[in-house]
Structure 1
Amino acid sequence: MDFSKIKMVVSDMDGTLLNSNHEVSNRFFEIFEALRDKNIQFVAASGRQYHSMADKLEPIKNDVIFVAENGAYIKQKEQVLLTTPIAKKSITSILSSISRVPHAHPVLCSKDNAYVNGNSNAFLEMLREYYTEFKIVDNQTEVEDEVLKVAIYHFESSEEHIYPAVKHLENSLKVKVSGSNWVDVSHKNAHKGYALEKLMQAHNITSDEIMVFGDYNNDLEMLQLSNYSYAMANAHPNVKEVAKFETLSNDDFGVERILEKVL
């Protein structure tokens, strides 16, 4: 396979670049240096908060383009390249829809913060892995900050418990099962595919010049933009259907092994 035209590499984080312990491998950081030497731009694309992504990639964060909050926010160094906020009335509809779901935990995600209620210590403890910056509020409907996404967590299954409660919003909003415990609801254009399309246009990059890695449903749109799209071995069946190729799991250096071939 000819990888000589690759100019940009895009990777999801959880379940893809990060292993099951939510760690980036030393092997990847070494590969990154070689990619940079070849002028291949690396893009991290995640449902995570920007601050959380930057923490994971701290040694190289000034050389990475971050697509955060499932595509609602793009940042490179200190420059914000895109924000796609969600309408206030939509937030009210989302919160109302999930208020009837037992043990659902909504997070209102803004550029620099996240807003949660404090009714579960177990949830708050888990949240620290994904959101390094968050505030506990009494009433989420009164949050004045511009919201980019509403992320909803369920300890058992997002697909089984959360998705049915918000599925009816799909006509006007982007609803994504973004992990086994998360569902993300955002503006129609707030997804990784839309964000990546904007980056490809800005960098004049074609589908032959970009490589994309993903594992879950929130990666589907961006995988469709690349002729070198890879599903992880641990990926959701939907992702394996859409991706053109498959690599090993996130615990078996699936991303790193392909990038070594690129190099």
Structure 2
Amino acid sequence: MATPRIVALDMDGTLVESSGSIPEEFWGLLDRALGAGMVVAPASGRQLATLQHMFERNEPDTFIAENGAVVWHKGEIVSVSPLPGEAVRRVVDALDSAPFTAHAVVCKPEISYTAETTPPEVQSEVDKYYLANAHASSLSDALAADPDDTVKIALFVESDAERDALPWLAEVAPELNVAVSSHHWIDLMAEGVDKGVALNALAQQLGVRREDTAAIGDYLNDYAMLEEAGYAVAMGNAHPDLKAIADEVVGTNDEHGALCRIERWLEA
């Protein structure tokens, strides 16, 4: 394709190396992309505060956070998609009797909450993705103030999220959109909310045609984003389902496959 005007760029497993770092080469590439008028939109299950911190060295104009439930553009949150409060409470209350062990993160637009009983090793995983996180005596307490402003529930599943939690959630909260983010993480958003919907809304807001958008990702929470994009790129380390729908498969995240693809677009 010709050089896209918008590139939605997943973070973990795509831009971020296995070490957890953004490659040093990315910053110069981002400068060139922005200078060429390309909108590079980090698109992640991470919260907005975490993305802003990761990019404080050179902040793009746009972030797609919380798997599409929060969209930030040019200094302000332009889109928030909350979950129904009743469904949030139903999931939180049912977790104690779930046939697997999981720990919930209740996500608001600018802060998240975990129970103070969350095991330290799990909380350390939470802290990687939720910089603005507070502890609550219980998740019910976190919901008490305003149960209707929750934009996402993230579950850290100690076993296999796709195998164990996905079918259970389909029974407990069939009206919610569920995205498997990794082996242990699974996210719940409102119906019709995902990275693909957020990319489409962003393109419409900026007056960009669908065929002038691209998306790069590696896991199942990127599936809708790759489907929606004019050009879909799957990483070499991507889930097989993403590779099956991609227009192109590039190198792995540790091989900087996403950076190489953006570099080729800029050279074109």
Q: TM-score scaled by structure 1?
A: 0.94
**Residue 121 (structure 1) aligned with residue 120 (structure 2):** yes
Conservation of the 8 A alpha-carbon contact between 2:68 and 2:198: yes
* 2:41 counterpart residue number: 43
The match for 1:163 among 162, 166, 181 is 166
Equivalent residue letter for 1:122: E
* 2:81 counterpart residue number: 84
Identity %: 26
1:60 Cα offset (Å): 1.7
**Residue 64 (structure 1) aligned with residue 61 (structure 2):** yes
Return the alpha-carbon distance in structure 2 between the equivalents of residues 161 and 96 of structure 1: 18
1:75 Cα offset (Å): 0.8
Query: For residues 209-247 of structure 1, what are the alpha-carbon distances to aligned partners after superposition, in whole Å with 9 as ceiling and x for unaligned?
Result: 111101111111111122321011111111111222111
The match for 2:211 among 208, 212, 221 is 208
* 1:32 counterpart residue number: 30
* 2:191 counterpart residue number: 188
1:174 Cα offset (Å): 0.3
The match for 1:105 among 103, 106, 122 is 103
Aligned to 1:224, the other structure's residue is in SS state: helix
1:164 Cα offset (Å): 2.6
**Residue 221 (structure 1) aligned with residue 219 (structure 2):** no
1:170 Cα offset (Å): 5.9
Return the alpha-carbon distance in structure 2 between the equivalents of residues 35 and 78 of structure 1: 19
* 1:254 counterpart residue number: 257
Conservation of the 8 A alpha-carbon contact between 1:24 and 1:57: no
1:169 Cα offset (Å): 4.7
The match for 2:92 among 95, 111, 122 is 95
Return the alpha-carbon distance in structure 1 between the equivalents of residues 167 and 115 of structure 2: 22
Aligned to 2:191, the other structure's residue is in SS state: coil
- List structure 1 runs of 4+ shifted beyond 3 angstroms: none
Q: TM-score scaled by structure 2?
A: 0.92
The match for 1:199 among 189, 198, 202 is 202
- In structure 2, stretches of 5+ residues that fail to align are none
1:203 Cα offset (Å): 1.2
Return the alpha-carbon distance in structure 2 between the equivalents of residues 103 and 226 of structure 1: 35
Return the alpha-carbon distance in structure 2 between the equivalents of residues 176 and 163 of structure 1: 9
* 1:135 counterpart residue number: 134
Aligned to 1:126, the other structure's residue is in SS state: helix
Return the alpha-carbon distance in structure 2 between the equivalents of residues 20 and 219 of structure 1: 18
1:141 Cα offset (Å): 2.1
Conservation of the 8 A alpha-carbon contact between 1:91 and 1:141: no
- In structure 1, stretches of 5+ residues that fail to align are none
Aligned to 2:223, the other structure's residue is in SS state: helix
1:139 Cα offset (Å): 2.1
Conservation of the 8 A alpha-carbon contact between 1:12 and 1:215: yes
Query: For residues 135-182 of structure 1, what are the alpha-carbon distances to aligned partners after superposition, in whole Å with 9 as ceiling and x for unaligned?
Result: 111221232242100000023321123223212256411011111111
Return the alpha-carbon distance in structure 2 between the equivalents of residues 159 and 245 of structure 1: 25
